[in-house]
Amino acid sequence: MGFLKKHRKIIAYFFAGGISTLVNIVTFTLLTFISKNPVYEVFANVIAVSLSIIVAFILNKIFVFKSKSFRPIVLLSEASSFIIARAGTGLFDIAFIYFTVTLPSVEDPWLIMSMKLLSNVIVTILNYFLSEFIVFRKKRVSHFGKILFAEGIEYYACIPLSSCKVTKKYLLDKNGLESDSTVIMMLFPYRTKQRAENLSAYASVKDYHLYVDELSQKLEKFIKKKHPSAKFKVFADHSPIDEVHAACVSGLGFIGDNGLLINERYSSFVFLGECITSLTPKELGLTFTKEDEFRTCLHCGKCKEACPTGCIATDENGADKSIKSECLSAITQKKGALTDEEKSLILENGSIWGCDVCQNVCPYTKNAKYTPIKFFNDGVIARLDAEMLENMSDEEFKARPFAWRGREVIKRNVSMWEEANPKVDKPKDTEDATTNGAELDEQGK
């Protein structure tokens, strides 16, 4: 077992290489036996090599070198360098077959296949070193970037503070941050495979403010060690800038008609956060990103049509004019007594906290991926009931997104839901959280 773990990458590479080689040989064999024309063998080999390159890229990226980023710019960079590298070894393969088989007009199919096998052994070895040290090499990023990648934070971007809309300047002044500061925007995807039943997706996971606090400590420890006098602060939700606008400017997503940031990979199931520092991108080992509007809202109208309260609205320029106080999510968080209409809305949509209706109907959610961040995958609550709520310690309760409103509001909603669903079975296994709570997320949940 230790041997397999120690040499996992090489074993995985040769397994992937074996599959791509098999694709290459099988394709070449099938096409070669169709015709005995020596010239045709060259075209058969070109097709075989091309198909094997596609298969090899997919296997090497995902299973061998485990490149985690699927951002378009990263995919383009890896794919292009991979194709160039494989094209080089592919040309070697083609030349090898030409000079050992085609040029002397060898007709024995078994000798042809022997030469082809030898060529592929050489190519496989060459491809490993090219992939290891060129295509999927560990990028030279600062430890700052490595921390983010290690956390599973795939989407982050560096922009000047001057590109952002400052909404709470006093927070900048309080932390000694000047107008020439640097902002590193980050996305924290939170959607898990365990589907929430009577909670919105963001309310079924632990409070993301706790995660941001943990991440902040790691980042600040690194910054202070290398730059003791640097100004550095991590914000989330209670931020000095318009986070959704900053995320758009940095190319991490776009604003949907429902007012939420939509990311190409995780749809709108993302929390936002940012580091603001006096350090320059160069000192951080980063570079300023250019505005990248890789996709835009389709303006299909599905979120508006599906909204339970009809609160989603935009002006003639597409700017968000939604009435947030009428959102079902806001209704579930309302203190005091609810009207009969408000109770009906909560029960009809089956969520005792938050609302995912507009997110779930969005076309970009169809292929949305699940979060790779461990924090959000631990302690998921699929369905909250009165017994579970009653047994939660204060510490466990504070670790939940609904804790900021106190127990009475969520208790009221749970009681109302259970009264309307008396025969619903209680979940067998649900992990509890263990840390402290925080505020409502401004991403609109």
Q: Tell me: the pLDDT tens digits for 277-297?
A: 999 988 888 888 865 544 678
Q: How many residues does the chain have?
A: 445
Structure tokens given for 219: 């980042």
Of 135, 152, 167, which marks where a domain is finished?
Answer: 135
317/350 same-domain check: yes
- In this predicted structure, which of 207-216, 239-248, 280-289, 413-422 has the lowest mean pLDDT? 280-289
145/130 same-domain check: no
pLDDT at 439 exceeding the cut of 50: no
Distance CA 222, CA 184 (A): 15
Of 135, 163, 192, which marks where a domain is finished?
Answer: 135
94/169 same-domain check: no
Instruction: Please choose, from the candidates 220, 188, 183, the residue with its C-alpha nearest in 3D space to the C-alpha of residue 207.
Output: 188
Distance CA 270, CA 283 (A): 28
206/282 same-domain check: yes
402/378 same-domain check: yes
User: HSE on the CB side for 75, CA within 13 Å?
Assistant: 7
Percent of the chain with pLDDT over 90: 48
228/365 same-domain check: yes
Distance CA 247, CA 41 (A): 52
**Distance set, CA 38 to CA 27, 99, 116 (Å):** 16, 12, 14
Say if pTM beats, i.e. exceeds, 0.85.
no
Composition of the chain by helix, strand, coil, percent to 5: 50, 10, 40
pLDDT at 10 exceeding the cut of 80: yes
Of 92, 118, 135, which marks where a domain is finished?
Answer: 135
Structure tokens given for 296: 């835009």
Q: Residues with Cβ < 8 Å from 176, sequence gap 6 or more?
A: 231, 278
Dump pLDDT digits (tens) for 298-353.
889 999 999 999 999 887 776 778 888 899 999 999 999 999 999 999 999 989 99
The SS3 assignment for 153 reads: coil
Question: What are residue 409's phi and psi, to 5 degrees?
Answer: -65, -50
Structure tokens given for 23: 């694709």
18/149 same-domain check: no
pLDDT at res. 143: 60
Residue 235's H or E segment, with its range, is strand 232-235
146/128 same-domain check: no
In this prediction, residue 1 has a pLDDT band, given cuts at 50, 70 and 90, of low
What DSSP state is assigned to residue 352?
S
Burial of 93: CB neighbours in 10 Å, binned 0-12, 13-18, 19+: buried
Backbone torsion region of residue 354, taken as left when φ is above 0, otherwise alpha when ψ lies between -120 and 50, otherwise beta: left
Instruction: Please choose, from the candidates 156, 282, 177, 169, the residue with its C-alpha nearest in 3D space to the C-alpha of residue 232.
Output: 177
Q: Are 352 and 413 in contact (CB under 8 A)?
A: yes
**Domain span at residue 13?**
2-135
Q: Residues with Cβ < 8 Å from 35, sequence gap 6 or more?
A: none
In the chain, the number of structural domains is: 2
Distance CA 195, CA 381 (A): 9
Angle subtended by helix axes 72-97 and 109-130, to nearest 10: 140
106/72 same-domain check: yes
- The Cβ of residue 24 has, within 10 Å, a number of other Cβ atoms equal to 27
pLDDT at res. 70: 76
20/83 same-domain check: yes
- In this predicted structure, which of 35-39, 157-161, 258-262, 401-405 has the lowest mean pLDDT? 35-39
95/202 same-domain check: no
Instruction: Please choose, from the candidates 372, 358, 349, the residue with its C-alpha nearest in 3D space to the C-alpha of residue 297.
Output: 358
Mean pLDDT of the 422-434 span = 50
130/186 same-domain check: no
